[in-house]
Amino acid sequence: MNEPSSVQSYIDQTPSWPDGTPTPTVPMTRMQWRIWLLATAGKFFEGLVVFMTGVALPLIVKEFGLSPVEKGIVTAAPLAGIMVGAIALGGLADIYGRRRMFVVEMLVFAIFLVGLAVAPGFGWLVLFLFGMGVALGCDYPTAHLVISESIPSRDRGKLVLGAFAFQAVGALVGTVIGYMILASIPELGAWRLMYAVAIAPAVFIVVARLFVTDSGQWLMSRGRRAEAEHELQRLLAREPPYPKKVRLAEIDPESALYSQEARRGRWRDLFNKKNRRATILASVPWFLQDLGTYGIGIFTPTILSHTIGHEITNAQNVAGVIARDIAGAKGAALVDTLLIAGILAAVLLADRAGRIKLQILGFVGCAVGLALALLQTHAEEPLRTLLLFGGFMIFNFMTNLGPNAQTYLLAGEVFPTNIRGKGAGFAAAFAKIGAVLTAFVFPLVLDAAGTNFLLTGLIFTSLLGAFVTWRFRIETRGVNLEEIGR
């Protein structure tokens, strides 16, 4: 490429054979793969911590003697932190750069993780859980942006979702670790070790993120062309060198797209006529799916223990609590494997079938799975257990094939570069309002109204999510992100 071009054009460019025939794929560089791998860490830790809380919660409740309200606060604390972090810190990636926030968020996570492992009481426990959530909330937009702004357009869907898949991996690992620690150390204090095992990996990720490149698209949006060329040259470094020299096109200082006001980006821009449709699509379906994903995800051990561990449900001593928790954790580990299967299917299909089709299909599939789980109350064993497990497994598969994956993907694609961090951050924060409400209210409603009432409500929200997705649909499959908003 001899003529000056855009950042994404360089990233999307494929080498050609001597006769001019282009190669069929865009070869990824070591730096691109490194960025992708390090971006997976935030999603892995989110799945690990949030879903491990489902296993740790009965022990925490017993150790600190928590009331139902305090139990709800504990489960809601990390999700409330994610909500605050996504909107308060996620937008900082538009101001201070993608790489800087990429490092800061993981540093904050590691600090609060250490505090959580040694929390002396209920107040400190909530504070540290909230702080971890703030860091993970910042990661929602930032990790998406560092991937999507550094990889080829045609592979963006599968690579962003490939990173997002590590949330499911983290969920499964968190549940398994919780079970293994409980089985090896059947003590109330075992929950501290569950969280402590993540400290060393988190510190390693902090250090590794210091050495990745910054986003050339963000640098160009700030008018810093020389820096963008330098970072893009590092990003695309390969042997033999290709391209040999990066030359980015000059920015017209009079262009409305690159005016000082446009570069700065404002929160209210998310709600103007130009971006309102994108904001609704990115945030409302995500809110609706979080009601189910976190409600079912966090409390799967509790719901299963009420069914498969019913003979020890009323146990009040420590041994009974741990036995019931182990029974729920074993069942949850089995159910959570379908999260991984679902996200793998999403990775394979997102750039083929498109985001919107998969999101609608996933929402409808979630409703079907929840309906099967609801039918278990009218069945006898062994059909009762089969319907409960089968329903939850279908739900987990379909949510990760569709809304849990696609809402995350769309939120980082439908906004212009100058407000992409703010848009993705707002969508994640709005979604976590649903997660926080679910985490806080779920245990109260579960005790007062029972499982049937909750499942019925989640069936309705899943179908509503499918409708909103169809009504405000914007397909971004294969779209050049630099063209969004122009």
Per-residue pLDDT, 311: 41
Residue 310 has pLDDT above 50, yes or no: no
Q: What is the pLDDT of residue 131?
A: 95
Question: What is the mean pLDDT of the segment spanning 317-339?
Answer: 56
Backbone dihedral angles phi then psi of residue 248, each to the nearest 5 degrees: -90, 145
The predicted structure's pLDDT at residue 429: 87
**Residue that wins the pLDDT comparison between 91 and 262:** 91
Q: At residue 453, does pLDDT exceed 60?
A: yes
- What's the pLDDT at 207? 96
Residue in 130, 114, 135, 125 with CA at minimum distance from that of residue 43: 135
Q: What is the pLDDT of residue 410?
A: 93
Cβ(148)–Cβ(412) below 8 Å: yes
Q: Can you tell me the distance from the alpha carbon of 339 to that of 172, in angstroms, rounded to the nearest whole number?
A: 8
pLDDT in tens, 417-439: 888 888 988 998 898 888 777 76
> pLDDT tens, 122-156?
999 999 999 999 999 898 889 988 998 999 888 88
What is the largest distance, in Å, between two alpha-carbon atoms of the chain?
77
What is the model's pLDDT at position 90? Answer: 74
Q: Which is higher by pLDDT, 315 or 354?
A: 354
The domains located in the chain, with CATH, are 26-212+252-479 (1.20.1250.20)
- Residues 6+ away with beta carbon under 8 Å from 208: 34, 38
Question: CA–CA separation, 215 vs 99, rounded Å?
Answer: 7
DSSP run (H or E) holding 467: helix 451-471
Residue 314: per-residue pLDDT: 45
Task: Round to whole Å and give the CA distance between 394 and 385.
Answer: 14
- The pLDDT confidence band at residue 276, using thresholds 50, 70 and 90, is very high
pLDDT at residue number 340: 79
- CA 110/CA 219 separation, integer angstroms: 28
pLDDT in tens, 2-51: 678 888 888 888 776 677 676 766 678 999 999 999 999 988 998 888 77
Highest mean pLDDT among 81-95, 135-149, 160-174, 322-336: 135-149
Residues in CB range of 359: below 8 A, 6 or more apart: 285, 402, 403, 406, 407, 410, 465, 466, 469
Question: How confident is the model over 201-206, as a mean pLDDT?
Answer: 95
Inform me whether the pLDDT recorded for 219 exceeds 70: yes
Mean pLDDT of the chain: 82
Residue 261 has pLDDT above 90, yes or no: no
